[in-house]
Amino acid sequence: MTYTNILQIDDDADDCDFFMEALHAVSNADYTAERNPVEALHKLIRKELQPDLIFLDLNMPIMSGFELLAELKRQDSTSSIPVIIFSTSQMQENKNKAARFGAAGYICKPSDFNEMKTILKNFTV
């Protein structure tokens, strides 16, 4: 499936910039970055953000990616939005937990720009 409105929730500004540059190199999809998971949740619930796909980091302060994912899946207004866990962690335990919590996928963050473009091309037009 292709997506046209992507939200990335990640507290690392450099990771967001890298993601955005790769996305814009392969797609015209709309992109929004939210660095505060609690604020992202509130904006999603209030429908200030209406993405058709979310890329979610796991290791964030205030609220972890798993906590946010669980809350997104509990809310009627956000439960149907596919969430891809996008993390540096390669631990199988995290991949299994993400699937149990309802993630649509799990991708380990690449450090290579071309690899990042290839990943994002698979989700966008």
Q: pLDDT tens-digit profile of 32-51?
A: 999 999 999 999 999 999 99
pLDDT of 1 > 90? The answer is no
Work out the average pLDDT over 45-65. 96
Range of the domain at 89: 40-114
SS3 64: coil
Q: Which CATH number does the domain housing residue 107 bear?
A: 3.40.50.2300
Q: Is residue 34 part of a domain?
A: no
- Domain-embedded: residue 85: yes
Task: Give a yes or no: residue 121 inside a domain.
Answer: no
On whether residue 89 sits in a domain, the answer given is yes
pLDDT (0 to 100) of residue 103: 98
In 1-125 the beta strands, taken as DSSP E runs, fall at 5-9, 30-34, 53-56, 83-87, 105-108
CB 98 within 8 A of CB 66: yes
Domain contains 7: no
Domain count, the chain: 1
Give the mean pLDDT of 54-63. 95
C-alpha distances (whole Å) from 7 to each of 50, 82, 93 are 8, 11, 25
Residue 19 lies in a domain: no
What SS3 class is residue 7?
strand
Any domain includes 93: yes
E strands along 2-115, which residues? 5-9, 30-34, 53-56, 83-87, 105-108
Judge contact between 84 and 107, C-beta under 8 A.
Answer: yes
Q: Looking at the domain assignment, is residue 77 inside a domain?
A: yes
Mean pLDDT over residues 79-103, rounded? 96
Report, as an integer, the average pLDDT of 56-85: 96
